[in-house]
């Protein structure tokens, strides 16, 4: 199963927000996309998820073209987008309920994913009773329960405080290693991208396109302390400079 994008472009009216995106992902890969706001990062995920059609080019998963949304491409929103009227366990079970599987099988799967995200004790809680970090854990478990070929994350930790965010980053690496799922994550946080990914794509603005690709050759097991190593700091500086040099600030636009 491989995600392949070829010459993908997206226009909103007369404005081209994405242009000439070529991307391919190996199964089990963890890729982060960074770029200044307005570089079309979120639009990219929306195209892969099948929520918006591409204006040009093709998106395909394991050779089959993407024509609409589906559970093989799980998407996690920044807000979590949990169903507020369902409990945590019911949220995780949402996708499974649409499939012809037995109740026992469904419950077993829900239990496993709740355990994986550390929320077994909150199975009966409503989303409004959860903290921001817990909500994102539920959203990730809900997407993973459908066993997606690729997990798409749209700035999933953007609204969290720094400590919670670090916990969630370690948690996501852990989940990725446990489940072997392919992850494509959009973020504006360069440090996060370097900490998590095996490969970072830097997007340029106006129109959004891939400006650079930085392989992250850090150890497979990464603790938070990796952030203090010189190789991490070097990679972070490189990516930060790339992001900044491909930014299109309003001041520059006026010039």
Residues in touch with another protein (CB under 8 A) = 14-16, 38, 49-51, 68-71, 73-75, 77, 79, 81, 83-86, 94-95, 98-99, 126-128, 139, 142-143, 146, 204-207, 211, 237-238, 241-242, 244-248, 252-253, 255
Nearer to another protein, 26 or 241 (CB): 241
Determine whether 123 is exposed, middle or buried from the number of CB atoms within 10 Å of its CB (0-12, 13-18, 19+).
Answer: middle
Nearer to another protein, 86 or 218 (CB): 86
Nearer to another protein, 129 or 229 (CB): 129
As measured in angstroms, the least distance from the Cβ of 98 to another protein is 5
As measured in angstroms, the least distance from the Cβ of 81 to another protein is 4
Pairing status of strand 199-204 against strand 30-35: parallel
Nearer to another protein, 15 or 102 (CB): 15
Query: What Cα–Cα distance (Å) separates residue 188 from each residue in 117, 157, 159, 200, 205?
Result: 24, 10, 12, 12, 13
Residue with tokens 């959860």: 130
Nearer to another protein, 17 or 216 (CB): 17
As measured in angstroms, the least distance from the Cβ of 13 to another protein is 9
Cα 243 versus chain centre, distance? 18
As measured in angstroms, the least distance from the Cβ of 87 to another protein is 9
In sequence order, the β-bridge partners of residue 205 are: none
Task: Find the Cα–Cα–Cα–Cα dihedral 79, 51, 125, 134, rounded to 10°.
Answer: -40
Residue 219: both structure tokens together: 């150890």
As measured in angstroms, the least distance from the Cβ of 175 to another protein is 17
How many residues are given for the chain?
Answer: 255
């Amino acid at each position: 199963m491989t995600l392949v994008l070829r010459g993908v472009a997206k226009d909103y009216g007369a404005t081209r927000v994405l242009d000439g995106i070529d991307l391919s992902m190996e199964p089990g890969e963890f890729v982060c996309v960074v770029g200044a706001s307005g570089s079309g990062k979120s639009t990219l995920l929306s195209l892969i998820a099948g929520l918006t059609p591409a204006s040009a080019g093709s998106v395909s998963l394991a050779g089959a073209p993407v024509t609409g949304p589906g559970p093989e491409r799980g998407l996690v929103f920044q807000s979590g987008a949990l169903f507020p009227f369902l409990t945590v366990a019911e949220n995780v079970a949402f996708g499974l309920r649409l499939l012809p599987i037995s109740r026992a099988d469904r419950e077993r799967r829900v239990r496993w994913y709740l355990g994986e995200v550390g929320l077994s004790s909150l199975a009966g809680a409503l989303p409004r009773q959860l903290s921001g970090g817990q909500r994102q854990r539920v959203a990730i478990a809900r997407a993973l329960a459908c066993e997606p070929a690729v997990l798409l994350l749209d700035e999933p930790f953007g609204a969290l405080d720094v400590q919670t965010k670090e916990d969630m980053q370690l948690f996501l690496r852990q989940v990725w290693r446990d489940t072997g799922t392919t992850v494509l994550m959009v973020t504006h946080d360069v440090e996060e991208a370097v900490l998590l990914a095996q490969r970072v794509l830097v997007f340029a603005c106006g129109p959004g396109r891939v400006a650079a690709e930085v392989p992250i050759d850090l150890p497979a097991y990464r603790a938070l302390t990796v952030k203090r190593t010189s190789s991490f700091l070097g990679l972070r500086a490189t990516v930060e400079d790339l992001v900044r040099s491909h930014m299109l600030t309003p001041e520059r636009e006026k010039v």
